[in-house]
């Protein structure tokens, strides 16, 4: 074999090591593919809780899911280990407090949605998994998760009715009679990241076990059911989009989240 051929062979082997090309999960062209593996929701929840101190909410949510998938993939396909260990998880720290404490989209949801989009390549499916997760966050009394070890007594639950960090935290502080900077509020968010990371693992497990989800059509009554999970728009968002859509009386609103926390001044029959 000529020196040039040997060099080409060695280069290809090294490329496979760093891109995952030699792995069964490799994409055409040598780019790594991020293949999902089923996760234990309880384990993911505890990992998320533990990671919170390292990089806050978005970082903890995203890394608890993706890193656990990586560990399982590396066990099955050792050549993939490099791509998982080199993932720049630190970039997800920007989501803290609704993007650098801006109070916008909750960092937990931001991180979980990023994890969904990493593994679910069909954009419609990724969107509806995300809607399901966001609806759960808006409409469920949380937190539920209790860590293995904690110095805090029971943490009060609250209903956020919003995906915004500012609203979610404010609702909880009012319910718990605490300040936003209190240690118990931080404990609440640590437990909340455990709840949502576990819920994301549940949704992904169901999705990859049972097949794709996709809505039949847009609209107030639209729902998509698969694997025992149904994604629907929240009632306030459904009411809004009845008029605020390209064909409605008042177009120009792009929304699927619960609108009521910020639009409490609307008349009772608005949208009905």
Residue 261 sits in the same domain as residue 142: no
Grouping H, G, I as helix, E, B as strand and the rest as coil, residue 230 is strand
What pLDDT is attached to residue 33?
A: 83
Start-end of H helices in 1-80: 3-19, 41-76
Structure tokens at 114: 């990023």
- As given in the structure block, the two tokens for residue 194 are 């455990």
DSSP E strands, the chain:
223-226, 229-232
Angle between helices 183-210 and 41-76 (to 10 degrees): 50
**Tokens 């097949």 map to which residue?**
211
| Other C-beta atoms lying within 10 Å of the C-beta of residue 188 | 25
CA distance 17 to 238: 49
CB 208 within 8 A of CB 129: no
Domain around 124:
38-147+154-210
Same domain, 82 and 204: yes
Is residue 171 located within the same domain as residue 205? yes
Q: What angle do CA 163, 168, 173 make, to 5 degrees?
A: 180
Mean pLDDT by 10 residues, the chain (272 residues): 44 39 46 91 98 97 98 95 94 97 97 98 94 96 96 94 97 96 96 98 95 50 40 55 60 58 55 42
Enter the tokens of residue 187.
Answer: 């404990």
Is 25 part of any domain?
Answer: no
127/243 same-domain check: no
Looking at the structure, tell me whether residues 183 and 266 fall in a common domain: no
Please indicate, yes or no, if residue 226 is contained in any of the structural domains. no
Query: What's the confidence (pLDDT) of residue 201?
Result: 98
Number of domains in the chain: 2
How far apart (Å, rounded) are the C-alpha atoms in residues 130 and 222? 15
The answer to whether residue 219 is domain-embedded is no
Residue 205 sits in the same domain as residue 240: no
- Segment (H or E) for 25: none
Domain co-membership, 137 together with 270: no
Is residue 198 included in any domain, yes or no? yes
Residue 49 domain flag: yes
């Amino acid at each position: 074999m000529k020196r040039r051929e040997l060099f080409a062979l060695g280069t290809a082997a090294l490329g496979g090591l760093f891109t995952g090309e030699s792995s069964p999960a490799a994409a055409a062209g040598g780019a790594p593919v991020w293949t999902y593996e089923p996760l234990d929701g309880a384990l993911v929840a505890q990992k998320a809780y533990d990671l919170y101190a390292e990089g806050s909410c978005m970082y903890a949510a995203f890394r608890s899911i993706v890193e656990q998938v990586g560990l399982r993939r590396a066990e099955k396909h050792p050549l993939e280990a490099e791509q998982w260990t080199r993932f720049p998880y630190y970039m997800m720290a920007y989501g803290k407090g609704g993007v650098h404490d801006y109070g916008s989209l909750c960092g937990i949801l931001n991180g979980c949605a990023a994890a969904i989009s990493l593994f679910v390549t069909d954009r419609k499916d990724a969107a509806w998994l995300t809607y399901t997760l966001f609806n759960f966050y808006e409409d469920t009394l949380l937190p539920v998760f209790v860590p293995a070890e904690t110095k805090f007594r029971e943490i009060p639950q609250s209903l956020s009715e919003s995906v915004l960090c500012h609203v979610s935290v404010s609702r909880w502080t009012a319910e718990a009679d605490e300040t936003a900077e209190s240690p118990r509020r931080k404990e609440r968010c640590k437990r909340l990241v455990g709840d949502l990371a576990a819920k994301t693992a549940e949704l992904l497990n169901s999705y990859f076990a049972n097949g794709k989800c996709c809505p039949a059509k847009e609209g107030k009554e639209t729902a998509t059911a698969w694997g025992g999970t149904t994604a629907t728009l929240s009632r306030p968002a459904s009411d809004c989009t009845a008029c605020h859509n390209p064909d409605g009386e008042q177009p120009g609103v792009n929304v699927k989240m619960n609108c009521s926390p910020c639009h409490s001044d609307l008349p009772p029959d608005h949208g009905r």
